[in-house]
Every structure is written in C-alpha cells, then in structure tokens.
Structure 1
Amino acid sequence: MFRRAEKIITVFIFLLMNACFSMQAAMADEPVLVEPKPSVLVFPPFDINAGRGISPGIQQWLQNEMAKDSAVTLIKFPYKKLMDVPYQNVFDKKYCKPVLEKIKADIIILSQLELVKETGNMQTDLWNVHLKIYQVHTGKQKDVLSLNNLTGDAIKEQLSTGYNTLQKQMQ
C-alpha cells in the first residue's frame, strides 16, 4: 500500500512540474534577456606611504560601498590569488594586465593617495586623493574624482557624497 502511494505521489509531482513548464513556455512570447551586473575590482591605492600605516583606508571604504550597491558585483581583492602578481602602486590601466590574466573583471577602480601635510597625527594629516575608472572591455580609462588637502575623515565624507558620480561613471 505504501509503495502504491509513493508511485501516485511521484506521478502527481511529475505531472505538476510538466504543467508548470508548459505554462511558462506558453506565457513567454519572447525570451527575457537579463544583462549581467558588471563586476568591479577595487585596487589598493597607489600610495608611497602605505608601509607606514598612516594612510586612510579608501580601498576598504570603496569595497564596502560597492558591496551595498545592487547595480554591480564586487570582487573582493584576492590578495592570496595574486601573490606573485605585481598589483601594488598601480594607478594606470597599462599595469592592470597581469592582474587581469588571473582575475576577470569588467571595471577596475584605481586610486592614488598623496600625503600633502604630515602633522604626526593621523586625524589631522592632509591628503590628496585621485580616482580613475578603467572599463576593461572598452579599454578606456577616465579620471573620476580629485580631492585635495583633506583629512582621512573628510575624504570618506567626500567619497560618500561623490559615490553617485562614481556610480554614473561606471555605467
């Protein structure tokens, strides 16, 4: 008796699934094309002071903002996968090729930090920040944002208000 019930349930599920697929096929006059979201890789900043531990963490901040953005797919920077690949202090598309041989990305965000005034206090040091976007498929690179003489907190605030500009430039 139990076997018969199993067979009946299996046949019922099969017929139900068949009916669902038939209805979907009948309802779809044209195939729906869904464009994939562009994948974004945020490089560590070009920063000659990086080894000193005094630089604002703009890569981490940009990655956090990209993770919240539903229009893009963030590729967390894969440090382990790129152990023998030169990725430090890259601020131009021509130096991205070795990374792109290992990681597939549609857009690369490049940044540069310049220490303008060192005060001995990380909260009051002044920095210049420059951002570039490299569209991998088109091979085009463009300057997106330039901020001058700002503290680390002011940089994050300015990037926060300028994120919409960055979003538009990525499209």
Structure 2
Amino acid sequence: IATAAGGFYSEGEFELTKLVARHPGQRFLELGRSCVLPEYRSKRTIEALWQGIWAYINHYGIGVMTGCASFHGTVPAAHAEALTYLAHHCRTDQAWDVRAVAGRYCSMDLMPIEAVNAKAAIAAMPPLVKGYLRVGARIGDGCVIDHEFSTVDIFVVMPVKEIGARYVNYYGGEGQRFAA
C-alpha cells in the first residue's frame, strides 16, 4: 500500500526500503506524527490511540511497526547525552538495522559513553521515545535534522513479536473492541 501511495514518509530520512527488502514476509506499518489538541492530551487519549493501532495490527497481520520519533530543535548536540545513550544501549540488532540516508546522516554518538549519566539521558528523552523503548522498540543508526518540523529525528523499529507481553495484554484485550 505504501508503494502505491508513493512510499513511506520516513524513506526521505532513513533507508527504510532496504529494511523492508530484507524482510519480504513481513508487513510493515509506519507510524507518523499525530496531533492532539492540548486539552485532550492525556493518558487515556494515548491508550485509545494504542488500542486502535493494536486492533489495526491484528486485523491486517502487521509484523513490524516503524517510524520517526523526534527531539525538539535542529541541533543534535543539544541532545548529546540522550542520543549517545540511544546509540550505545538501544540500537537495533543486525537483522533490523536501518541507517539514516547518506546525505542526511548525523551521528548520535556525540560524547564519550563514560560521560553519559543513564538516568539523566533517559529523563532528557521525549515521552514518546521513552514509551517506545518501554514497549520494546529499538533505534536505528544515526539521526536526521528535519528542518520542516524543526526536529532531530531518530528511527524506531518495533517488531510486533518483540513487544513486551504486559503491553500486549494491556492493549490487546481492550483493543479488540476496536477491531473492524
């Protein structure tokens, strides 16, 4: 379906086509930016979004979720501790590795790993990134400056089979009522 629509949005920043080609039996779902009015930004709203995504995954047999997650601003060094932590502790394994496109690649390894305070690095991450990591997602190689949205983007890969059982149980049971 993505091919018919002109491709995945993330392909402009990351080598997603190569990742998809290495897993021909998998169905990929790209998650993108969503906007929620401030007065509706709550835990329940996020839960409803994830329950809908879970129902979609099950209905269409999705095997892998991917997409960009963003840090505010266009200066990777402003997020050096968090990005370095991600580069050393949260990378994809070789089977799921994906890299920022050559012309836009920025290193995430911005400081000596010995200087990274893990607790501070995690605290400095956007809530969405921390949420993805809790569920079982891993991060691709390199970040990209997205001038259009004034963000530093990282690539998130989340094979459905690797999602923690506690999250499958939490979103799966309630999420089934959203299935078409």
> What TM-score bracket applies, with the shorter chain setting the length?
under 0.3
TM-score (norm 1): 0.28
TM-score (norm 2): 0.27
Kindly indicate which of the two structures has a greater share of residues assigned to strand: 1
Rg: which structure is higher?
1
